[in-house]
Amino acid sequence: MLFIKLADQNVPKLDESLLSGLPPFSCLTRPQIRKILDQARSRRYEEGAEIFREGHEADRFFLLLDGYLRVVRTTPGGDQIIVLHISPGQLFGIAPALQRETYPATSIAAAESIALSWPVRLWSDFTATYEGFATESYKTLGSRLGQIQQTLTEMATQAVEKRVAAAVLRMVNQSGRKTDKGIEIAFPVTRQNISDMTGTTLHTVSRLLSAWEKAGIVESTRKHIVVTAPHQLVVISNGTD
């Protein structure tokens, strides 16, 4: 984890070359990145910490350096749904890109995480001054809105087993790391989390994971999932309803 060692340093001491490959900075020069970093604040968040809450005033926007985040939205009926996960190197909390003054969702650290943040007043300055920053930021926003729409469409149209398989595969594709047993999701994930991602009950998720374990498709513990037969999970996610 590249940034753990840097988390307790002042932001101006971060080497801008470490950020040059990340999407918001990839089109910028090192002096431009330096100017942006000099205005940032860094903070470490423990697993489960709420970074900001849906509906609250959007006073800062963020860049995730290390860790993983869950993005949670509240349905009209009051249910909490995990609509996506955010990986290192991505912007989040970018309410001004949506022309909003409040956060559209709640952001929770899925694992110990480190993020940079800036006052929201700087968003218009950054996007106006640094074309590359604006271009990459709006690409990220478009991709994220597409992911959320896909998740909501799955919940409305797909059978439960397909939804759960698709949710597990998304986490594998986003964070999976190879182990001697298969591909492990890199951040802690519980059966309740999967329930919140798929709009189904905890009992149903537990039943499916237990069946997949017996079939040799996954191995799961209280907070970790390893996919031992990815192809079979793909087949389930693509199966006919």
- Specify whether the backbone of 182 is left (phi greater than 0), alpha (psi in -120 to 50) or beta: left
Cβ–Cβ < 8 Å for 50, 114: no
**Which pLDDT does position 140 carry in this prediction?**
80
Angle between helix 160-175 and 202-214 (nearest 10): 70
Contact 24, 136 (CB under 8 A): yes
Indicate the length of the chain as a whole number: 241
- Residue 12 has a pLDDT of 46
Report the side by side order of strands in the sheet with 60-66: 41-45, 113-119, 60-66, 91-92
Q: Between the CA of residue 212 and those of 51, 96, 188, 216, what are the distances in Å?
A: 34, 42, 19, 6
Residue 86's H or E segment, with its range, is strand 80-86
- Please tell us whether the domain made up of 4-151 is placed in CATH 2.60.120.10: yes
Asked if residues 128 and 83 have their Cβ atoms less than 8 Å apart, the reply is no
Report whether CATH 1.10.10.10 matches the domain 158-237: yes
Say how many CA atoms lie within 13 Å of 239 toward its Cβ.
16
Long-range contacts, stretch 172-181, CB < 8 angstroms, 24+ apart: 172/227, 172/230, 174/85, 174/87, 175/68, 175/85, 175/87, 176/227, 179/226, 181/219, 181/226, 181/228
Q: What is the pLDDT of residue 76?
A: 81
Query: What is the per-residue pLDDT for 240?
Result: 54
- The one-digit pLDDT tens for each residue of the chain (241 residues) are 344 344 444 444 677 887 888 888 888 889 999 999 989 999 999 999 999 999 999 999 999 999 999 999 888 888 888 888 998 988 999 999 888 999 999 999 999 999 999 999 999 999 999 878 888 888 888 888 877 777 777 777 779 999 999 999 989 988 888 988 899 998 999 999 999 989 889 999 999 999 999 999 999 888 889 999 999 999 998 875 5
Q: How far apart are CA 130 and CA 43, in angstroms?
A: 24
**pLDDT value at position 168?**
93
Task: Sketch the domain layout of the chain as residue ranges.
Answer: 4-151, 158-237
The single residue listed with the structure tokens 């209280």 is: 222
Quick one: which of 200, 204, 208, 84 has its CA closest to 151? 84
